[in-house]
Amino acid sequence: MSKAKISVEKTGRIAAIDKRIYGSFIEHMGRAVYQGIYQPGHPSADANGFRLDVAAMVRELRMPIVRYPGGNFVSGYRWEDGVGDRAQRPRRLELAWGSVEDNHVGLNEFADWAKLVNTEVMMAVNLGTRGAQEAADIVEYCNHDSGTYWSDLRAAHGYRQPHNVKLWCLGNEMDGPWQIGHKTAYEYGRLANETAKMMKWVDKDIELVACGSSGRGMETYGAWEDTVLTECYDHVDYLSLHQYYGNHEGDSQSFLSRGHEMDSFIKEVVSMCDNVKARLRKKKQIHLSFDEWNVWYHTTIEDPSITRWSQAPHLVEDVYTVEDAVVVGSMLITLMKNAGRVKIACMAQLVNVLGPIMTAETGSAWRQTIFYPLLHASLYGRGTALHCDVSAPKYSCRLFSDVGSIDAVAVLSEAENELTVFAVNRHLTETIRTEVDLRAFGGMALIEHISYFNEDKDAVLSATEHYAVPTNDTGVGVMNGVLHATLPNVSWNVFRVRLVKTL
């Protein structure tokens, strides 16, 4: 059995973690909204049509933000279609996903749902087929108190108090040829700049996210970021990153290493932002919003049985394995390790479409394997991120050389007087005996070691299969501030420690 050591020092502070890195995303795509969060007539539905079984699971995640309504959907969306009397709302052809949208859920209903699950809305505006005026209008509708056309219209729709949406995306993936209203970097940068100005003139307290590249593999990657930020640097606060990872080639060892690639992606975009800052001689620092990330590969080929112009089709409903959950855990560790610059992140998506939560149309909701790393990170990953010095066996794979089998980050919660170490063993076959050295923190007591592992790394969860869930490992030894534990191959691990103050 191989050995490893994880050492954590008080002086290894990375940054305070912004809780918004544990966000998610709901788009009008497939069954994310309809039959996902909203299904009137379902046994669990409340008076507003929201599924309370889903809402309970979302509340369990302590989700700080949810991005809405897209995604590709937003680039053709007329937000006015989704407000006012439902009986008068138009049915539209939804071009991004080839569906029909009846607009029974719009921004007011979504704001109601956000309150139900104790989250905040991260709203996106359409910069595909629309522009600065429509974006300013929706900010006025959502955030202005009263006495103007749009704020009074909101009140007439039954919402006297403003929604106070404070975080906004300036479009979605505008670098992508697949996008409705696709633009060049210069076209988008100019539009984003003028839109941002108008939106902030309506509400000076909002924060804005400009579109970065849709993925690291885009041909315009790098040049896009440089041009866009050159045009809109003064008026935006964040630049977005999107990336999905998969195992299309059946190479699990490379797949398990994707957190390593994600880390490189983040550092590259940080360098791009700082290059523009230096060239333009700006004082303001642009932070990152990694507002689409997840594992996605089980359903990348469109299901031929899906009928075009149907409503709420079963689209992109990946069934996730334990191996997928470990990769998700690795990506969460990467986000925490980059807390100094990544301030927002959204697992895409939340329900049914690439979802940690799945629903049956006439049955129950259930948690997928990827639900659990997100849950643990959101619950125990709030505080200050600390660097972990990791000494562990390395491996090489098709994509990378000298990858550490163990990746880890620690989070210190001084408010709770707790220290949590998140660790993955991403080696495909080796179980690793690991020491976790926490002596720098003085007296301590182990609360628990959560281990997520299954002999069958392809094990899944469903409405009827519940065995592939995390467990508490009772075999952890504690001696003089050092934890001794076994990290199984392909596993996600959470060590929670209560710090004991000594006189």
pLDDT, tens digit (0-9, with 9 covering 90-100), for 50-71: 999 999 999 999 999 999 999 9
Q: What is the CATH number of the domain that holds 312?
A: 3.20.20.80
pLDDT in tens, 448-467: 999 999 999 999 999 998 88
Same domain assignment for residues 191 and 50? yes
The DSSP 8-state label assigned to residue 315 in this structure reads -
Structure tokens at 41: 């007539």
What is the tally of structural domains in the chain?
2
pLDDT in tens, 143-154: 999 999 999 999
- Catalytic, 173? Answer yes
| Cβ neighbours of residue 283 closer than 8 Å, sequence gap 6 or more | none
Listed residues 340, 362, 380: the one ending a domain: 380
Same domain assignment for residues 308 and 403? no
**Which sign, positive or negative, has the C-alpha torsion 116, 119, 120, 125?**
negative
DSSP 219-285: TTTTHHHHHHHHHHGGG--EEEEEEEE--TTS-HHHHTTHHHHHHHHHHHHHHHHHHHHHHHT--PP
**What sections of 389-470 are H helices per DSSP?**
none
Given a cut of 90, whether residue 299 has pLDDT beyond it is no
pTM above 0.75, yes or no: yes
Same domain assignment for residues 354 and 424? no
CB atoms within 10 A of CB 411: 22
AA identity, residue 462: S
Same domain assignment for residues 6 and 39? no
Task: Report the pLDDT value the prediction gives residue 503, as an integer from 0 to 100.
Answer: 37
AA identity, residue 310: S
Listed residues 314, 346, 380: the one ending a domain: 380
pLDDT in tens, 336-391: 999 999 999 999 999 999 999 999 999 999 999 999 999 999 999 999 999 999 99
Same domain assignment for residues 366 and 448? no
Distance in angstroms (rounded) separating the CA atoms of residues 358 and 351: 6
Same domain assignment for residues 370 and 448? no
The DSSP 8-state label assigned to residue 458 in this structure reads T
- Band the pLDDT of 267: cuts 50, 70, 90: very high
Distance in angstroms (rounded) separating the CA atoms of residues 220 and 237: 22
- Band the pLDDT of 325: cuts 50, 70, 90: very high
CB atoms within 10 A of CB 160: 12
Cis omega before residue 349 (within 30°)? yes
What b/e readout covers 33-52, taking b as 16+ CB neighbours within 10 angstroms?
A: bbbbbbbeebebbeeebbbe
Q: What is the CATH number of the domain that holds 482?
A: 2.60.40.1180
Structure tokens at 189: 């940068």
Structure tokens at 210: 């400009």
Structure tokens at 15: 């940054």
Would you say 379 and 59 are in contact if contact means Cβ atoms under 8 Å apart? no
Helix (H) or strand (E) holding 56: helix 52-60
Same domain assignment for residues 59 and 91? yes
Same domain assignment for residues 434 and 311? no
C-alpha pair distances (Å), 327 with each of 82, 231, 262, 264, 359: 37, 36, 11, 16, 23
C-alpha pair distances (Å), 267 with each of 222, 261, 264, 333: 12, 10, 5, 14
- Band the pLDDT of 304: cuts 50, 70, 90: low
- Catalytic, 109? Answer no
The DSSP 8-state label assigned to residue 33 in this structure reads T
End-to-end CA separation in angstroms for the chain: 40
User: For tokens 């932002």, what's the residue?
Assistant: 273
Would you say 319 and 368 are in contact if contact means Cβ atoms under 8 Å apart? yes
Same domain assignment for residues 473 and 486? yes
Same domain assignment for residues 391 and 425? yes
Task: Find the mean pLDDT for residues 281-294.
Answer: 98
Question: Annotated catalytic residue: which of 101, 120, 134, 173?
Answer: 173
Q: pLDDT > 90: what percent of the chain?
A: 95
Boundaries of domain holding 75: 18-380
Question: Annotated catalytic residue: which of 292, 317, 323, 418?
Answer: 292
Same domain assignment for residues 162 and 269? yes
Same domain assignment for residues 393 and 330? no
Residue from 126, 128, 151, 130 nearest 202 by CA:
151
Rounded to the nearest 10°, the torsion over CA 71, 72, 75, 78 is -70
Listed residues 380, 408, 432: the one ending a domain: 380
User: For tokens 């670098």, what's the residue?
Assistant: 175
